[in-house]
Amino acid sequence: MNLVGLFFSLLAIIGWSAYPTLVSKFGGNSIQGIFWATWGTLIVATILLLVRGLSVPTGVDFWLSVASGASWAFANVLTIAAFSLKDSAGNILGSSKAMPISTAFQISANVLWGVIMLGNWPSFTAKLLGFLAVIVILIGAYLTTYQETKTEDNNALLLKAVGILLVAQIGYSLYGILPQYTSNGTDGMHMFLPQAIGMAAFGLLLGIFDLVNNHHNIFVDKITYKQIISGFFFAMAAFGYLVSAQPEMLGLATGFVLSQVSIVGATVSGIIVMKQSKTRREWLVISIGLVLILLAAAVTSFL
């Protein structure tokens, strides 16, 4: 296995494990959480363009890439809003519960689109194994939400989060789908900068909206600048995954599977950092759910 590719994949795992937890830890609203993730990505994309001397897509390819990035930013701000939800006692839902559900939705939606619209998994056996894997992913996501003691308040909060994450999935799906309609030869490395422009533009517009509509100036709020740290981890992850998924490194399938390991880090770190108490049985069930998501994701990637 390519050790350099493995190193960059490790950067993606660390970055995506830390990002949602740090966003929750630093607090602020969802717009503050997204702002530096988008601008950090733009900075990294610009540096990559200059160092590698990459060309930028033009015409329709450019705008599809920009729209793809903006769609991701739309989805991510909703995802942050979901794990920032609080119950009547002021307890935050947290990334440890929201992220596995979001990951399950993303994998399931990408799989369905690939099979129905792009002709992936042409054989009956591949389709059967693939759809069984999707069911396992959804079961795994459900297990990660397990609580020994349930209340109506907990259930209502989780249902609200699921609703928000379903809407967010529209953005995540467009993020992956729109690049499929660019010209042949427009790979992820060349699309990275225009995608980052779309992300950063959406983040900036959200900041301006918050200022005008809510009289909340995120640009002078110290919490926003704490989120620079979370933005750094996200940008590191985006860059690491982009490099590791290149054909000469690990390739798309292996790079994708390894990136899914981050859901384990995001869930466990979310529980520990946010000091969410879990019983031994809850830890066991959550761990089983995470393993199911990872194994099923591996199956879908190699069909």
113-122 pLDDT, tens per residue? 777 777 777 8
> pLDDT by residue (tens digit) across 70-122?
998 999 899 888 887 877 777 777 777 787 888 788 877 877 777 777 777 78
Q: Please return the burial class of 77, using the count of CB atoms within 10 Å of its CB with bins 0-12, 13-18 and 19+.
A: buried
| Residue-wise pLDDT tens digits, 204-247 | 999 998 889 888 888 888 888 888 888 888 888 888 877 777 66
Q: Is the pTM higher than 0.75?
A: yes
User: In this structure, are residues 246 and 189 in contact, taking their beta carbons and an 8 Å threshold?
Assistant: yes
Give tens-digit pLDDT for 120-153.
778 888 888 888 888 888 888 888 878 777 666 6
The average confidence (pLDDT) of the chain is 83
Place of tokens 């009547």: 88
Nearest by Cα to 139 from 276, 284, 290: 290
User: What are the residue boundaries of the structural domains of the chain, listed by start?
Assistant: 3-302
What would the two tokens of residue 3 be?
């050790």
